[in-house]
Structure 1
Amino acid sequence: MRVSTTAGPSRCLQEAERIHIADRLREKASMRTIAAELGRSPSTISREIRRNGVLYAGSKVWAYRPHAAQARADARKPRPKPGKIGQNPALANFVQEHLERRWSPEQICRILRIRFPDRPEMHVAHETIYQALYLQGRGELRRDLARALRTGRTMRRPHRQSTRRQPRMSKDMVMISERPAEVADRAIPGHWEGDLIIGKGHGSAIGTLVERSSRFVALVHLPDGRRPAQVRDALIRTVSTLPAQLRRSLTWDQGSEMHLHKEFSTATDMAVYFCDPGSPWQRGSNENTNGLLRQYFPKGTDLHRHNREELDAVAAELNGRPRKTLDWETPAERLAKLLATAS
């Protein structure tokens, strides 16, 4: 028979339930039986006994005293609890320093484990850093450091589905479904994904290119605009600086700026493949990189003000960051290895 409590249902066990647990344990009832009587999960009862009971010395028998258990549970309730970062000034300083350098929380956590392998007090999960930034009242990390994250947000937002777009070109497109298998497996360098990031009022843009095998980034300067001829010429200038083994293919979305893709292919000997409408995941590396670049080129700003030298400096900084997907090598290191192997 299920036992009811006068206080009503609660997510946490109440004192009356703890008294019932103690009484039934003395009667040798099983945890499943006690759980059924209380309308709780058996794991809840088992965890309650482990956390708030006392194990007799030299035995596997638990002594469970309900009033002492209630006192222990009450002592754990106060919030907010001090976090790991707030209790360790050295850890907090390390995290703040690398956030200011625009490292992601996951990159910081990985490097902490590499640099301090024998100091568990310096190890945190990336979620701990996010909570230290986002949760009100903790004060473990400066609130303004959230601006250094790739999103620049001071609070979290759920992912949303992308709005589907209609095809903008219907002539001479080679779709991604016809792309060679060697592009998909990322084994051979020289296959790129590309896109534009757009500035204030759609009046300025920067081209972004990401090499699929190494995640190496190249930025395309578009000082005069993003009309098809301007994008074609800027892409040709950028790609022409690459060694021949890095000029194999380019995957782009169906933006009208690539209307002259055939002329680009003729000039560079690079095939161009187009994604399906509304399918940004088909250029996942490029989409991820565009998110990183928004730390440097925020939405709603005029991108005309950034010169070629500034774009090169941003690309160099991104190419010098360790990446989880590269086993914590930097894109520059991975690309150098791939080129050395190919030669």
Structure 2
Amino acid sequence: MVEAGWSVARAADEVGVNVRTGQDWRLGVRKVGNTRIHADGLVVDYGTGTRYFTAVPRSVDGVISERYLSLDDRLAIADGLVNKLTLTAIAAGIGKNKSTVSREVAAHSVEGIYLPHQAHRDAATARARPKTSKLLTDPALRAQVVLGLEKKLSPEQICNRLVKDFPDDESMRVSHETIYQALYFQARGGLKRELVTALRTGRTRRKPQRRPDQRQSRFVDDMLMISERPAEIEDRAVPGHWEGDLIMGEGNRSAIATLVERTTRYTLLVHLPGSHEAEPVRDGLIKAMQTLPEHLRGSLTWDQGCEMARHKQFTIATDMTVYFCDPHSPWQRGTNENTNGLLRQYFPKGTDLSVHGPEDLEHVAQELNARPRKTLDWDTPAERLRDLLTT
């Protein structure tokens, strides 16, 4: 899924694992109890806080991840600068973001000249793990932190007070996270364990901010879950209630929004030419629903995809309540799922859906709505919708 363009968070949610587990899988990290073994040989024991290598880390010329610049990337940047190419052109040539190239050139230029080999060595040195805690190497800084803890100051108060007390001394800077690390993980060093009692909580271990079984709300606006959907929608007794979803194209770079009326199985296809983010999806759905009479605009049931982040605005514009399915429960939109399967006959997986214009989508929708359905006693969705419009 990640190779197809999904975010790690979305892919992890789709297969039902924690985001941290998904990150571990992507990076080739093996977990044994409280210990994580990284692909480059780094071993981190989260029980004791110790970090060490089981083998020699990768060489300076190696690439830890595609997120990092390789030596070839840096040489290409140097060549591009010599040939007076823009940063945008250089970034496109190596497949990186322009801001990445801009930061790289700014950080590793001497008298206006970018030095790729020196930049690569500096990056490898800065990336070396484990790093020595700042509180271990700077006695003066450590003394100020200890003094603050003895005065019952919080780590955040300490780090911000240091800026005021030593405005001209950049060495007297430490983040509150570094202080917490030194307190909770003794292997990080620098602070004595008894200083932990100076914290307001008095805890000797970190407390998770959220229980593992608690899901964070996907959207800013509150969601109405499918369990709150009235029975009249569930048994299809009243028409005008729709199910929706996106069918995705190659690499998830293109999409078509699909809408199916639960009673008649009538299908609408929404053209999304630019992107399938929340705003274009909201606008496309509003436009599609406003073509219908008011009595056929009852509700919409969707999954918890991020494309519905503007669901409240959709509701205000159409007066349609949006209900959200439970995670990993596609059967709760069974009519829509079945229709999406039929649509794959016209829009095969792995193809670019952006090549299909509004006229193409209208033609496909008409064909689908003209198919006799067993569940409709061999009527077509178009015939059932026509009956609703004429009665």
Given the two structures, how large is their TM-score scaled by the length of structure 1? 0.51
Which of 294, 304, 311 in structure 1 is aligned with 2:361? 311
Aligned to 1:258: 308
CA shift in 2, pair 1:263/1:170, >3 Å: closer
Cα offset for 1:250?
0.2
CA shift in 2, pair 1:164/1:215, >3 Å: farther
Question: Which amino acid is the alignment partner of residue 314 of structure 2?
Answer: F
Question: Which amino acid is the alignment partner of residue 189 of structure 1?
Answer: P
In structure 1, runs of 5+ residues without a counterpart are: 1-161
Question: Which amino acid is the alignment partner of residue 262 of structure 1?
Answer: K
Question: Which amino acid is the alignment partner of residue 323 of structure 2?
Answer: Y
Aligned to 2:381: 331
Determine helix, strand or coil for the equivalent of 2:326.
Answer: coil
Question: Which amino acid is the alignment partner of residue 169 of structure 1?
Answer: R
Determine helix, strand or coil for the equivalent of 1:221.
Answer: strand
Which of 240, 254, 257 in structure 2 is aligned with 1:207? 257
CA shift in 2, pair 1:330/1:224, >3 Å: same
Aligned to 1:169: 218
- What is the rounded CA distance, in whole Å, between the counterparts of 1:283 and 1:207 in structure 2? 14
Cα offset for 1:170?
5.0
- What is the rounded CA distance, in whole Å, between the counterparts of 1:320 and 1:165 in structure 2? 41
Which of 224, 227, 236 in structure 1 is aligned with 2:274? 224
Tell me if structure 2 keeps the 8 A contact 1:165–1:278: no
Aligned to 2:294: 244
Aligned to 1:268: 318
Tell me if structure 1 keeps the 8 A contact 2:219–2:309: no
Matched, 1:295 2:345: yes
Question: Which amino acid is the alignment partner of residue 299 of structure 1?
Answer: K
CA shift in 2, pair 1:304/1:165, >3 Å: farther
Which of 302, 327, 333 in structure 2 is aligned with 1:283? 333
1:32-72 Cα shifts (integer Å, max 9, x gaps): xxxxxxxxxxxxxxxxxxxxxxxxxxxxxxxxxxxxxxxxx
Determine helix, strand or coil for the equivalent of 2:247.
Answer: strand
Question: Which amino acid is the alignment partner of residue 218 of structure 2?
Answer: M
CA shift in 2, pair 1:296/1:204, >3 Å: same
- What is the rounded CA distance, in whole Å, between the counterparts of 1:221 and 1:253 in structure 2? 19
1:86-138 Cα shifts (integer Å, max 9, x gaps): xxxxxxxxxxxxxxxxxxxxxxxxxxxxxxxxxxxxxxxxxxxxxxxxxxxxx
Which of 184, 187, 212 in structure 1 is aligned with 2:234? 184
1:171-223 Cα shifts (integer Å, max 9, x gaps): 41000000111101111111000000000011000000000000000001000
- What is the rounded CA distance, in whole Å, between the counterparts of 1:215 and 1:195 in structure 2? 14
Matches within 5 A, 1:94-105: none
- What is the rounded CA distance, in whole Å, between the counterparts of 1:240 and 1:317 in structure 2? 22
Cα offset for 1:165?
7.6
Question: Which amino acid is the alignment partner of residue 239 of structure 1?
Answer: M
Aligned to 2:102: none
- What is the rounded CA distance, in whole Å, between the counterparts of 1:244 and 1:193 in structure 2? 17
Cα offset for 1:268?
0.6
Determine helix, strand or coil for the equivalent of 2:272.
Answer: coil
- What is the rounded CA distance, in whole Å, between the counterparts of 1:337 and 1:231 in structure 2? 29
- What is the rounded CA distance, in whole Å, between the counterparts of 1:188 and 1:224 in structure 2? 35
Determine helix, strand or coil for the equivalent of 2:245.
Answer: strand
Question: Which amino acid is the alignment partner of residue 265 of structure 1?
Answer: T
CA RMSD in angstroms comes to: 1.6
- What is the rounded CA distance, in whole Å, between the counterparts of 1:279 and 1:227 in structure 2? 22
In structure 2, runs of 5+ residues without a counterpart are: 1-13, 19-214
Corresponding residue pairs, total: 180
Aligned to 1:57: none
CA shift in 2, pair 1:224/1:170, >3 Å: closer
Cα offset for 1:290?
0.2
Cα offset for 1:338?
3.0
- What is the rounded CA distance, in whole Å, between the counterparts of 1:251 and 1:179 in structure 2? 9
- What is the rounded CA distance, in whole Å, between the counterparts of 1:243 and 1:258 in structure 2? 23
Cα offset for 1:334?
1.3
Question: Which amino acid is the alignment partner of residue 247 of structure 2?
Answer: I
Determine helix, strand or coil for the equivalent of 1:329.
Answer: coil
Given the two structures, how large is their TM-score scaled by the length of structure 2? 0.45
